[in-house]
Amino acid sequence: MRALRGLRGQLALAFALVFGLVVGLAGLYQYRQVGRVLHQGAENRLRARALVLLNKVEVSGAVPVVPLPSRGEQMRVVVEASGQASRELFHSPGFGAPSKKEENSLVEVQAATYDYSGRPVRVRLWLAHSAAPLLADLGRVRLGLWGALAGSLGLAAALAAILGWWVLRPLRRISRQARRIGAAPGAERLPEPATGDEVQELAQALNRMLDRLQAGAELQDNFLAAAAHELRTPLAVLQTGLAVTRQSPELPASLRAPLDAQSQELQRLGRLVEDFLLVSRLRSDALPLARRPVPLDELVLAAADQLGPRFRAAGRQLDLAIDESVADYTVAGDADKLTTVILNLLDNALRHAPPGAAVRVAVGQEPETGLFYAEVSNPIHTSLGDLSRLTTARYQADVLSGGAGLGLWLSNRIAELHGAPLALREANGALYVRLRLQ
């Protein structure tokens, strides 16, 4: 049923129905014509046979002479004289009534002659023959016509499918190109076939829409990058001034806790601004990677130390497991960008793990691929369903949680730039997010 809802399926169905209707009507007309010809031929042959038998009937003698019918034939012969009752000369056993034409073919012939006394008489002869051969011929004709109709419908469907495939080629090209553009937005546009029809108009309209969308996305990214860049300077000034104030010996002890909280909020705001700047660069494919040898285990340890105070303040346990059988965890990557990924994964686990639950960070090497990995796991309340949604920009599994819904998307894009996307899976009531590097 799904195939019939498609344009090619509907075209094939309509073509087959119209073609089948035309062939069916033509077949019905031909069947009636052939039936009429067969009936007429059978009746003419039977009438000719009846005339032959009638010519052999003799009533001029004292004893009438009547020929016998052949096998499969039934006959009745009657002599009628003016003013006298008719006299039956011959009657085949089981001779049917003239009304049973569906079982027998029946004809009547007559001739005027004289009897043995010279009186004028009329000889009437009825001859019947089984209609089974005729009905068998008509059955074969019907069967042939039904076969022709079925073959015509199959041929019509095949021709319609081929025609639909041929006609819809431009639409398939447009669809493939649209999928490529959707997967990797850029300056590429849909092909515009010079056909002068609706397909060309559709391609032109879609390209104009893509131009407007790209212009709007570029304007948004430029604004986001400019705003993030402009916010970095005042945030840096605020953080510096706050750090100097916190180190002042004259600072009252009652103000240290509020200033510490403000410092943490400024750091969170700074990371958010950096995320916005990364978003604009990632969307414009202008994010440079400064690749150099990076010790993955040390990078994970540093990120865990940086977020350790936040875990303790939130009452969460942070467990770190590093496979010591691996001698060297050096990978080729951008240390700053990879640090952003690890921090985002830890921050995401911190915000979504249930109260009192432990967050685990595992560092090791995959035996099947040889890739090094850093995997962050945390318990979850309920299944998250389609995990691919988690790496969508601005998607939030918990709308009541903090954040802009960019952490996993940013992390996945940075991981892709390093060679492999994030691997997400659910197992044993926990979410596992793995960063793989080589």
375-397 residue pLDDT tens: 999 998 888 888 888 887 654 44
pLDDT at 100: 47
Pairing status of strand 292-295 against strand 330-333: antiparallel
Contact 354, 344 (CB under 8 A): no
Where would I find the beta strands (DSSP E) of 30-97? 73-81, 87-91
What is the arithmetic mean of pLDDT over 343-360?
88
DSSP conformational letter for 285: T
What is the arithmetic mean of pLDDT over 188-212?
80
What is the arithmetic mean of pLDDT over 250-271?
80
pLDDT at 103: 57
Q: Report the C-alpha gap between 356 and 232 in whole angstroms.
A: 35
What is the arithmetic mean of pLDDT over 93-118?
73
pLDDT at 399: 37
pLDDT at 389: 81
DSSP conformational letter for 314: T
pLDDT at 287: 65
Name the residue with tokens 């202008």.
286
Whole-number average pLDDT of the chain: 81
Which alpha helices (DSSP H) does 123-168 contain, by range?
132-167
User: Which has the higher per-residue pLDDT, 281 or 353?
Assistant: 353
What is the arithmetic mean of pLDDT over 84-96?
84
Contact 38, 44 (CB under 8 A): no
pLDDT at 319: 94
Contact 335, 403 (CB under 8 A): no
Q: Assess whether pLDDT exceeds 70 at residue 183.
A: no
Q: Report the C-alpha gap between 403 and 409 in whole angstroms.
A: 12
Q: Would you identify the CATH topology of the domain 186-287?
A: Helix Hairpins (1.10.287)
What is the arithmetic mean of pLDDT over 25-47?
88
Q: Assess whether pLDDT exceeds 60 at residue 334.
A: yes
What is the arithmetic mean of pLDDT over 320-324?
94
Give the dihedral sign, CA 136/137/141/144: positive
Instruction: Supply the angle between the helices 407-417 and 253-283 in degrees, to the nearest 10.
Output: 50
| Model confidence pLDDT, tens digit, residues 395-426 | 444 433 444 456 788 888 889 889 999 999 99
Contact 4, 10 (CB under 8 A): yes
**CA 438 distance to own-chain centroid:** 38
Q: Report the C-alpha gap between 79 and 283 in whole angstroms.
A: 110
Among residues 221, 218, 215, 213, the alpha carbon closest in space to that of 280 is found at 221
Based on its alpha-carbon atoms, the radius of gyration of the chain, rounded to whole angstroms, reads 48
Among residues 225, 233, 236, 226, the alpha carbon closest in space to that of 278 is found at 225
User: Which has the higher per-residue pLDDT, 16 or 279?
Assistant: 16
What is the arithmetic mean of pLDDT over 215-222?
72
- Is the entire prediction scored with pTM above 0.75? no
Tokens of 257: 């806790």
Choice among 68-82, 200-214, 351-365 with the minimum mean pLDDT: 200-214
Q: Report the C-alpha gap between 42 and 69 in whole angstroms.
A: 17
What is the arithmetic mean of pLDDT over 140-150?
85
Q: Report the C-alpha gap between 10 and 13 in whole angstroms.
A: 5
Q: How do the domains of the chain map onto residue ranges?
A: 2-165, 186-287, 292-437
pLDDT at 373: 96
Tokens of 166: 């041929």
User: Which has the higher per-residue pLDDT, 272 or 357?
Assistant: 357
Q: Report the C-alpha gap between 319 and 110 in whole angstroms.
A: 118
What is the arithmetic mean of pLDDT over 144-173?
80
3-state SS, residue 82: coil
| Model confidence pLDDT, tens digit, residues 240-259 | 888 878 888 888 888 878 88
Tokens of 101: 């034409």
Q: Would you identify the CATH topology of the domain 292-437?
A: Heat Shock Protein 90 (3.30.565)
What backbone torsions phi and psi does residue 95 show, to the nearest 5 degrees? -60, 125
Q: Assess whether pLDDT exceeds 90 at residue 232.
A: no
pLDDT at 125: 92
Q: Assess whether pLDDT exceeds 60 at residue 221.
A: yes
Instruction: Give the confidence band of 300 by pLDDT, cuts at 50, 70, 90.
Output: very high
pLDDT at 326: 93
Name the residue with tokens 């391609």.
203
